[in-house]
Amino acid sequence: MKVQLILNGDDLALSGGPRDSLFAVLQQRAGLFPERVCCEQGDCGRCHILLDGKEVPSCLIPFFQVREQEVVSPEGFQNTEEYRQFRALLEEEGLVHCTECTEVQIFHLFSFLEQFPQADAEECRLAIGEIPCRCGSKPVLERGARRWLASRPWPVVGREVPRGHH
Amino acid sequence: MDTIEIAQPLLYGPRTLSETLAFLLANPGSQLIAGGTSRAAEAPVAVTLHLLDDLKRITSGDRSLDVGATAPLSALLSLPDTQIPVVLKEAIRTIGTSGLRNLATVGGNLCQKGTFGDLFPVLLLLGAQLELRGQRSSRWVSFQDLAEQGRLSLAAGELLTKIRLPLEQPGLHFYQKIGSYRTSWEEKLSMVCLASPKDGLLSRFRLVFSLPQLGLLRSRELEAELTGRRLPLPRQERDASLARLADFLAELPILPSVFQTERILHLSRWVLTRLDDD
């Protein structure tokens, strides 16, 4: 089965089986996530991507569901200006590079803050805690999240949904 | 309708609800895939619902919120607290990670194989209803009816399309989940409690526990006994209620594990104490 998608800004068609996960196809056919082992439960964060702008675990997405959608992998994200700014801010807060989790944490936290700009400190702490790591970077990430949100335009609290008639 | 694959499994990606319902009627036994987080395509014929924008829609009325069955859980977390019962948000936050909640759907949580899902007890106490649609029929079913039936049974060709929940915020709410998918059933449970204190009285009290091996656990006697009581509850009344709850647990046809029994009593004591505090 061939599926047309936009991967890191490029239009392309990838081949995979109907039972394949997106992670398997990205790893085997697109050369992404080299040598990365994933929990395949959506827990570890190592396979997370942006699907139409939202962070999702690619190990849980059936490959066929991404047809005509936009996928950004951590490799694609690392080429953006936002990544460089966010990483610089975290380094100012004392980020130490951990081969296990740093890139995964940055990707996860940035995606979370973009999706929930109204997140409070507790919600940020919970989101940071979702990625397992023992490298001790969580306080750095929490400080970085607070500074990043404070530097953004004042967010609206929640997104109103359309009113309809029942 | 798009046919995505010719070899097995046959995957269908309908773009309208009417196409979907016609297909389901003609192909009973097809596997439905929404967020796809719980299982991959296993049946010979699978229908993916991710192209149906109508089923992702969330609309707010004066007194209720309509949530499309394939709305992702994260979409509900993005709503302001005035448009959704806060206890439902709390329950959603205990499901997976923020990434998983961008994929997992409300309907998928309710239609898990062999279990009701984490959101069921919350929606039950909130008085929510489900819309089930077939090609030539549409009906609303209350979560209360489903709880009594013990499972969600769909007629041939029927699809869960919408969940409607009243927007009334309970005065007090408590939600607690213990364990995760990694935990064994003996150490897993969740609790939801809605209570409305008014003029010094407990005007409404609802308490449900959800246990993997037992389903929902609810003592109507305890709820009736506490409703109307003056707050704060004296310690003797709390202790007497907890003793009756312990008797209720001991008389169940399938007993909760020792861990679950202890946690049920502990959480109930915590709730009754918090009622006093508030």
Q: Which residue of B has its CA nearest to A43?
A: B97
B2 or B211, which is more confident? B211
**Are B65 and B126 in a shared domain?**
yes
The length of chain B, given as a count of residues: 278
Mean pLDDT for the stretch of residues B91-120: 89
**Are B146 and B96 in a shared domain?**
yes
Enclosing domain of residue B144 = 55-166
**Are B232 and B251 in a shared domain?**
yes
**Are B154 and B193 in a shared domain?**
no
Please identify, among B166, B190, B220, the residue that sits at the C-terminal boundary of a domain.
B166
- Provide the residue ranges of all domains of chain A, joining segments of one domain with +: 2-73, 80-151
pLDDT at B178: 95
Mean pLDDT for the stretch of residues A11-37: 90
**Are B103 and B30 in a shared domain?**
no
**Are B68 and B159 in a shared domain?**
yes
Mean pLDDT for the stretch of residues B100-121: 88
Distances in Å between the Cα of B117 and the Cα atoms of B50, B151, B193 are 20, 11, 17
pLDDT at B7: 52
Is B46 a residue whose pLDDT tops 90? Answer: no
Q: Could you say which of B35, B59, B77 has the minimum Cβ distance to residue A162? A: B59
- Best-predicted range by mean pLDDT (A14-18, A30-34, B136-140): B136-140
Is A160 a residue whose pLDDT tops 80? Answer: no
Domain count, chain B: 3
CATH 3.10.20.30 fits A2-73, yes or no: yes
Which residues 16-55 of A have a C-beta within 8 angstroms of B? Answer: 18-19, 21, 41-43, 45, 48, 51, 54-55
**Average per-residue pLDDT for chain B:** 90
For residue B271, what is the domain's CATH number? 3.30.390.50
| CA R_g for chain A | 17
Q: Which residue of A has its CA nearest to B6?
A: A1
pLDDT at B183: 86
ipTM: 0.84
**Are B182 and B112 in a shared domain?**
no
pLDDT at A14: 95
Q: Judge residue A162's burial from the number of C-beta atoms within 10 Å of its C-beta, 0-12 exposed, 13-18 middle, 19 or more buried.
A: exposed
Mean pLDDT for the stretch of residues A90-104: 90
pLDDT at A145: 95
Is A165 a residue whose pLDDT tops 60? Answer: no
Mean pLDDT for the stretch of residues B130-137: 94
- A55 DSSP assignment: E
Is B116 a residue whose pLDDT tops 50? Answer: yes
**Are B144 and B61 in a shared domain?**
yes
Lowest mean pLDDT of A6-10, B22-26, B148-152, B235-239, name the range: B148-152
A145 or A157, which is more confident? A145
What residues have CB less than 8 Å from B33, skipping those under 6 apart? A62, A65, B41, B46, B47, B48, B49, B50
Contact B36 A61 (CB under 8 A): yes
Mean pLDDT for the stretch of residues A51-78: 93
**Are B156 and B123 in a shared domain?**
yes
For chain B, the DSSP string reads: -EE--SSSSEEEE-SSHHHHHHHHHHSTTPEEESS--S----SSEEEE-TT-GGGG-EEE-SSEEEEETT-BHHHHHTS-GGGS-HHHHHHHHTSS-HHHHHH-BHHHHHT-TTS--TTHHHHHHHT-EEEEE-SS-EEEEEHHHHHHHTS--PPTT-EEEEEEEE-PPPSEEEEEEE--TTS-GGG-EEEEEEEEEETTEEEEEEEEEEETTTEEE--HHHHHHHTTPBSSPPHHHHHHHHHHHHHHHHTSSSPPPHHHHHHHHHHHHHHHHHHHH-
Task: For residue A43, give the amino acid letter.
Answer: D
Phi, psi (deg, nearest 5) at residue B26: -80, -20
- What is the C-alpha end-to-end distance of chain A, expressed in Å? 41
B58 vs A: CB within 8 A = yes
**Average per-residue pLDDT for chain A:** 88
For residue B79, what is the domain's CATH number? 3.30.465.10
Mean pLDDT for the stretch of residues B99-125: 90
* Banded model confidence at residue B6, pLDDT cuts 50, 70, 90: very low
B60 neighbourhood in chain A, CB within 8 Å: 160-164
Is B5 a residue whose pLDDT tops 60? Answer: no
pTM of the model: 0.89
**Are B196 and B214 in a shared domain?**
yes
**Are B162 and B176 in a shared domain?**
no
**Are B70 and B36 in a shared domain?**
no
Please identify, among B136, B166, B196, the residue that sits at the C-terminal boundary of a domain.
B166
